[in-house]
């Protein structure tokens, strides 16, 4: 039965829904430039995540797509149709808000059918759609309850259900999980991902949480101060960040990044900071040669530092300042003269605070950034 319902849903929801933002700018009253020339192409059925720190403009982008915020300049297309001047109700999209925005005096059923009722859908159609959505979300037992009698996770499901019954071309999510506790957040994350693959709908999802972005997105748009920094798959962003900001924002613990001097020793290029020496392989010499005698920013992910009893030519020697056991692994906070780093190690080794330890950095994976522009020296499209 459920399979049959899902199959029907796939047929009905599977409308082609590509969303294209071209040179979109948003300037709020008081000259606040919240979004600066955003160009994003969201493919049909794609799960696209907009991520960035508070105030970077991600919600503004979502609200412009929804039609809740006027676009200052640029063009917005849904399915090749320019929709800048279309009212929200004519855009065939549904939005799920952070605070769920449920009507407290209405039952779950009432909340879910409301959007269809005001659009004058026939009663039988409304009933069928609400039942179907309730089944998909496993909230059939809750249809008579009022929102105050629901848990946070259940309210979230109702908010999603209200979007599903509309069978929109595009689903928009504005930080839908941020009011839930950590455990429920992980569970709902998986539920929304699974809903996406079942419904085969285009979804655009805003969050400030890079873990949500990494685990849910087919692709991710990283924003900072109104400007898109990079768009790519989670792994592309993780392995080849375009600049220092993306490198530091994507990944947990964040990438260790600090300034280091570039010099030549015995015919090899060496990048050095106090406590850490990295001998550059031939394949990377070309990008670092212009920086000889100067400095770059060197970035090493915590899992790319391997504990060793035998220091090699590329080596980090540092003091352990905090040991953070997590069960499956241990995070070590390390200190050199000028900087602090985090290393992820296995839990077996009994590290002690205050001891000096050696790590071998995985040289092939080290990132380098220009110290002025903060752009990656290794990035290519
Ligand atoms: P958060 O994660 O905190 O919600 P965000 O990345 O979604 O942040 P936006 O809400 O899009 O950011 O805001 C982007 C910028 O626009 C911020 O500087 C914000 O203060 C400003 N802004 C948002 N709404 C308005 C408004 N109605 N009037 C003026 N400025 C606004």
Examine the domain organization and report whether 94 and 217 are in the same domain.
yes
State the Cα angle at 180 between 177 and 130, rounded to 5°: 65
Examine the domain organization and report whether 176 and 202 are in the same domain.
yes
Percent of the chain whose predicted confidence (pLDDT) is above 90? 80
Q: Spell out the residues 6+ positions from residue 290 whose beta carbon is closer than 8 angstroms to its own.
A: none
Q: Distance from the CA of 60 to the center of ligand 1, in angstroms? A: 6
Which of 248, 277, 311 is the last residue before a domain boundary?
Answer: 248
The answer to whether the beta carbons of residues 268 and 314 sit under 8 Å apart is: no
Instruction: Compute the half-sphere exposure of residue 91: CA atoms within 13 Å on the CB side of its CA.
Output: 24
The answer to whether the beta carbons of residues 216 and 227 sit under 8 Å apart is: no
Structure tokens at 150: 């629901």
Structure tokens at 235: 């792994």
Q: Distance from the CA of 227 to the center of ligand 1, in angstroms? A: 13
Instruction: Report the b/e string of 200-213 with b at 16+ CB within 10 A.
Output: ebbbbbbbbbbebb
Would you say residue 365 has pLDDT above 80? yes
Which of 179, 214, 248 is the last residue before a domain boundary?
Answer: 248
Contacts of range 260-263, beta carbons closer than 8 Å, 24 or more positions apart: 260/295, 260/296, 260/297, 260/298, 261/294, 261/295, 262/288, 262/291, 262/292, 262/293, 262/294, 262/295, 262/296, 263/292, 263/293
- The one-character DSSP state at 282 is H
Would you say residue 248 has pLDDT above 80? yes
Examine the domain organization and report whether 288 and 176 are in the same domain.
no
The answer to whether the beta carbons of residues 51 and 210 sit under 8 Å apart is: yes
Examine the domain organization and report whether 170 and 286 are in the same domain.
no
DSSP codes of every residue in 295-310: EEEEEE-GGGEEEESS
- The one-character DSSP state at 281 is P
Q: Determine the atom of ligand 1 nearest the C-alpha atom of 35.
A: 14
The three-state secondary structure class of 179 is coil
Examine the domain organization and report whether 187 and 114 are in the same domain.
yes
Using 50, 70 and 90 to split pLDDT, how confident is the model at 381?
A: confident
pTM of structure: 0.91
Residue 99 pLDDT: 81
Question: How much is the mean pLDDT over the chain?
Answer: 92
Would you say residue 174 has pLDDT above 90? yes
Q: Determine the atom of ligand 1 nearest the C-alpha atom of 61.
A: 11
Q: How far apart are CA 209 and CA 11, in angstroms?
A: 32
Q: Does residue 25 fall inside a structural domain? A: yes
* Residue tagged 């790590």 (tokens): 359
Examine the domain organization and report whether 262 and 343 are in the same domain.
yes
Q: Please count the structural domains in the chain.
A: 2
Would you say residue 314 has pLDDT above 90? yes
User: In DSSP terms, which residues pair with 96 in a beta bridge?
Assistant: 173
End-to-end CA distance of the chain: 46
Q: Does residue 223 fall inside a structural domain? A: yes
Q: Does residue 297 fall inside a structural domain? A: yes
- Rg, Å, the chain Cα set: 25
Examine the domain organization and report whether 191 and 281 are in the same domain.
no
Q: Does residue 376 fall inside a structural domain? A: no
195 or 12, higher pLDDT: 195
Q: Does residue 374 fall inside a structural domain? A: no
What residue numbers bound the domain in which 326 lies?
Answer: 256-369
Tens digits of residue pLDDT in 43-93: 999 999 999 999 999 999 999 999 999 999 999 999 989 999 999 988 989
* For range 320-328, the mean pLDDT: 93
* DSSP H or E run through 170: strand 170-174
Q: In 3D, which of 110, 187, 125, 197 has the Cα closest to residue 156?
A: 187
Using 50, 70 and 90 to split pLDDT, how confident is the model at 184?
A: confident
Q: Does residue 275 fall inside a structural domain? A: yes
Residue 198 pLDDT: 87
> What's the CATH code of the domain at 332?
2.40.50.140
308 or 349, higher pLDDT: 308
Q: Distance from the CA of 67 to the center of ligand 1, in angstroms? A: 16
Three-class HEC string of 88-125: HHHCCEEEECCCCCCCCCCCHHHHHHHHHHCCCCCHHH
Q: Which residue CA neighbors atom 10 of ligand 1 most closely?
A: 59
Examine the domain organization and report whether 199 and 284 are in the same domain.
no
Examine the domain organization and report whether 241 and 268 are in the same domain.
no
Examine the domain organization and report whether 56 and 161 are in the same domain.
yes
Q: Distance from the CA of 54 to the center of ligand 1, in angstroms? A: 8
Q: Does residue 132 fall inside a structural domain? A: yes
Using 50, 70 and 90 to split pLDDT, how confident is the model at 305?
A: very high
Q: Does residue 289 fall inside a structural domain? A: yes
Would you say residue 180 has pLDDT above 90? no
Examine the domain organization and report whether 239 and 260 are in the same domain.
no
Would you say residue 216 has pLDDT above 90? yes
Pick the most confident of 4-8, 117-121, 165-169, 170-174: 170-174
Which of 248, 270, 291 is the last residue before a domain boundary?
Answer: 248
> What's the CATH code of the domain at 240?
3.40.50.300
Percent of the chain whose predicted confidence (pLDDT) is above 70? 96
The answer to whether the beta carbons of residues 358 and 315 sit under 8 Å apart is: yes
Instruction: Using most ligand atoms within 8 A of CB, pick from 31, 35, 36, 55 the residue to mutate for ligand 1.
Output: 55
Question: Regarding beta strands 202-207 and 47-51, do their DSSP bridges make them parallel or antiparallel, or are they unpaired?
Answer: parallel
Tens digits of residue pLDDT in 336-346: 988 999 999 98
* For range 243-269, the mean pLDDT: 96
Residue 3 pLDDT: 42
- Does the N-terminal peptide bond of residue 13 adopt cis geometry, omega within 30 degrees of 0? no
Residues near ligand 1 (Cβ within 6 A): 28-29, 32, 34, 52, 54-60, 208
Using 50, 70 and 90 to split pLDDT, how confident is the model at 15?
A: low
Examine the domain organization and report whether 244 and 283 are in the same domain.
no
Using 50, 70 and 90 to split pLDDT, how confident is the model at 5?
A: very low
Q: Distance from the CA of 33 to the center of ligand 1, in angstroms? A: 9
């Amino acid at each position: 039965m459920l399979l049959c319902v899902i199959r029907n849903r796939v047929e009905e929801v599977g409308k082609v829904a590509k969303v294209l933002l071209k040179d979109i700018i948003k300037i709020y009253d008081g000259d606040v430039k919240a979004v600066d020339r955003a160009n994003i192409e969201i493919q049909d059925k794609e799960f696209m995540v907009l991520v960035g720190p508070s105030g970077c403009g991600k919600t503004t982008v979502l609200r412009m797509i929804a039609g809740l915020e006027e676009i200052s300049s640029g063009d917005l297309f849904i399915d090749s149709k320019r929709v800048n001047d279309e009212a929200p109700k004519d855009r065939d999209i549904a939005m799920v808000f952070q605070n769920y925005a449920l009507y407290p005096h209405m039952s779950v059923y009432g909340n879910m059918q409301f959007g269809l009722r005001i659009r004058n859908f026939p009663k039988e159609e409304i009933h069928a759609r609400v039942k179907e959505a309730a089944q998909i979300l496993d909230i059939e037992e809750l249809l008579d309850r009022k929102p105050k009698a629901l848990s946070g996770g259940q309210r979230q499901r109702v908010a999603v259900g209200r979007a599903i019954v509309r069978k929109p071309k595009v689903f928009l999510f504005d930080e839908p999980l941020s009011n839930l506790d950590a455990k429920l957040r992980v569970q709902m994350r998986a539920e929304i991902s699974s809903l996406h693959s079942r419904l085969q709908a285009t979804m655009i999802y805003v969050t400030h949480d890079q873990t949500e972005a990494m685990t849910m997105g087919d692709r991710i748009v990283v924003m900072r101060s109104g400007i898109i920094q990079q768009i790519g798959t989670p792994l592309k962003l993780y392995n080849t960040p375009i600049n220092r900001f993306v490198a530091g924002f994507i990944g947990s613990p964040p990438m260790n990044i600090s300034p280091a001097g570039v010099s030549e020793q015995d015919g090899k290029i060496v990048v050095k900071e106090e406590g850490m020496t990295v001998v550059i392989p031939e394949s990377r010499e070309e990008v670092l040669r212009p920086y000889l005698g100067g400095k770059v920013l060197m970035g090493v992910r915590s899992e790319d530092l391997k504990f060793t009893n035998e220091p090699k030519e590329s080596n980090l020697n540092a003091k352990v300042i905090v040991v953070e056991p997590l069960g499956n692994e241990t995070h070590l906070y390390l200190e050199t003269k000028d900087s602090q780093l985090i290393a992820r190690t296995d839990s077996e080794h009994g590290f002690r605070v205050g001891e000096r330890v050696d790590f071998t950095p995985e040289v092939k994976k080290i990132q380098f950034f220009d110290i002025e522009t903060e752009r990656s020296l290794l990035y290519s499209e």
